[in-house]
Amino acid sequence: MRIVRTIHEIEYARSQWSGPVGLVPTMGYLHEGHLSLFQTARAENTTVVASIFVNPTQFGPNEDLERYPRNLERDLHMLEAAGVDMVFTPTASEMYPPGFTTYVEPQGSLVEQGEGASRPNHFRGVATVVLKLFQLIQPQRAYFGQKDAQQIAVITRMVRDLNLPVKLRVRPTVREADGLAMSSRNSYLDPATRAAAPILYQALQAGRQAFEAQPTSNPAAVMQAMAEIVAQEPQAHLDYAEVRDAETFLPLERLQAPRSSCSPSAWDQCA
Ligand code: PAF
């Protein structure tokens, strides 16, 4: 496995690849959710590239950029074992040299709600770095986890809007035995909050049950079912529990099946 730190090196490596290239963009501190992306990428491409870059432009001024968990040595072992061919792990100044001024600015409902509402500029940072990685590595396929549903919608829109020649592949969320979605940030949880965290999964399950009981109903019943479960956990403070269109993130008036087999909620039918 080659470890590459500069844009110059990645450009040289790119000129030597033949056959399809799969890119798995990450911020490191890898877990089994990432491993499922590497596995799929390995099965589908001749060359698999992982990036590890804690992207400063997607963090707000009071967010966790400095303390975001990092363990490059452990990550490199995991990547090697997963059969990844190349790791691109640039510095912030390599990606954003002095004078950098050009950003991808997603607009509208997609970024005005959910994470976009509580984290201004987050999706601008994500879209910018993902476009730069697509430009540098020029993969035929790029792999993302379904856990970050709004991120997937933003990147899908960018790929469509800017006619980027890359196919997005989205893999299902990987969960701990008690339902908590795997995430690098789970390492922040102390034992008490870790014990409380699966309430989120229980709320999602309750939402699913409410939907299955009345698939054509008003989404309010689903949202209420989720909110009631979260309210049972004293350590949990609900930010939002909403039902949104998976592509536009607009509120839904009525529950409905995904518009097409290639909508973000049905990605695996979308090879
Ligand atoms: O999902 C992540 O880890 C990040 O948002 C990504 C896509 C690697 C961009 O920094």
Q: In this predicted model, what pLDDT tens digit does every residue of 25-47 receive, in sequence order?
A: 999 999 999 999 999 999 999 99
Q: Higher confidence at residue 109 or residue 217?
A: 109
For residues 56 and 66, what is the distance between their CA atoms, to the nearest angstrom? 9
Residue-wise pLDDT tens digits, 113-162: 889 998 999 999 999 999 999 999 999 999 999 999 999 999 999 999 99
Q: What pTM was estimated for this model as a whole?
A: 0.93
Q: Is 163 left (phi over 0), alpha (psi -120 to 50) or beta?
A: left
Distance 123 CA to ligand 1 centre (A): 10
How many helices (DSSP H) and strands (DSSP E) are in the chain? 11, 6
The pLDDT of residue 48 is above 50: yes
CA distance to 139, 144, 180, 186, 210, per residue, from 19 (Å): 10, 21, 37, 36, 46
Annotated binding site: 27-34, 58, 145-148, 151, 174, 182-185
Question: What residues does CATH 3.40.50.620 cover in the chain?
Answer: 2-175
Which CATH class, in words, describes the domain spanning 2-175?
A: alpha beta
Residues 72-100, mean pLDDT to the nearest whole number: 98
pLDDT of residue 265: 46
pLDDT of residue 253: 85
**Nearest atom in ligand 1 to 184's CA:** 3
pLDDT in tens, 195-251: 999 999 999 999 999 998 887 778 999 999 999 999 999 999 999 999 998 899 998
Which phi and psi angles does 233 have, rounded to 5°? -105, 110
pLDDT of residue 216: 74
pLDDT of residue 183: 98
Q: What is the mean pLDDT of the chain?
A: 93
Atom 2 (ligand 1) nearest CA: 26
One-letter amino acid at 19 equals G
Q: Please, are residues 249 and 123 in contact by the beta-carbon 8 Å criterion?
A: no
Residue 85 Cβ inside 6 Å of ligand 1? The answer reads no
Q: Which are the contacts of 223, defined by CB distance < 8 A and separation ≥ 6?
A: 207, 241, 242, 243
